[in-house]
């Protein structure tokens, strides 16, 4: 059953109003469209790449685009560390999209084994004409449940449509 994104943001807004003006906040979100199957294929592209065989670190630079399941990530730089786990570190002009949902931030760390993404630095989540922002977003890629923390601000469009 899909939950109406406008309802979620309205609840977040109301809970924020009930708590008053605080400098630190924590909010849980349902970002189901960001949930992916861990067996999904990963595709990468960039303008340049460096692979270090001693450290098993691959660095991608300039116009980096990663497609993982239904997620599309773009950033200035991406490091991939392959050990017993596959980890991604994206830095600079970060954008993560899934359908019409968008997350923008400064950097992200993806842990494919645990299916968790930690997104930080001026985080802004936009979905259905609504936005929520904070300092850090922890996103569970298995179920799309997210927790955003640090000076959380929410803007709700009652109809869920972007104002013109």
pLDDT in the model for residue 87: 86
Q: Summarize pLDDT for 24-53 with one digit per residue, the tens.
A: 444 445 454 455 556 677 788 999 999 999
The candidate with the shortest Cα–Cα distance to 105, out of 134, 80, 128, 130, is 134
DSSP string, 38-74: TT--EEEE-SEEEEETTTTEEEEEEEEEEEETTEEEE
All domains of the chain in start order, with CATH: 5-155 (2.60.450.10)
Q: pLDDT tens digits, the chain, 164 residues: what are they? A: 333 343 333 333 333 333 333 334 444 454 544 555 566 777 889 999 999 999 889 999 999 998 877 778 899 999 989 888 888 899 999 998 887 788 999 999 988 888 888 999 999 988 878 898 999 999 887 777 788 888 888 888 876 554 44
Region at 56 (left for phi over 0; alpha for psi -120 to 50; beta for the rest): left
């Amino acid at each position: 059953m899909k939950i109406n994104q406008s309802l979620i943001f309205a609840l977040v807004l109301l809970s924020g109003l009930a708590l008053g003006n605080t400098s630190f906040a924590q909010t849980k979100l349902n970002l189901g469209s960001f949930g992916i199957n861990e067996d999904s294929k990963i595709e990468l592209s960039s303008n340049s790449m460096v692979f270090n065989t001693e450290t098993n670190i691959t660095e991608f630079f300039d116009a980096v685009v990663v497609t993982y399941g239904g997620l599309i990530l773009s950033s200035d730089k991406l490091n991939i560390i392959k050990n017993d786990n596959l980890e991604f570190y994206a830095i600079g002009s970060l954008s993560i999209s899934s359908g019409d949902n968008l997350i923008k931030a400064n950097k992200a760390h993806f842990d494919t084994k645990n299916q968790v993404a930690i997104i930080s630095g001026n985080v802004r989540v936009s979905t259905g004409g609504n936005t929520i922002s904070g300092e850090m977003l922890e996103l569970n890629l298995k179920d799309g449940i997210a927790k955003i923390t640090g000076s959380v601000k929410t803007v709700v469009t009652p109809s869920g449509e972007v104002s013109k």
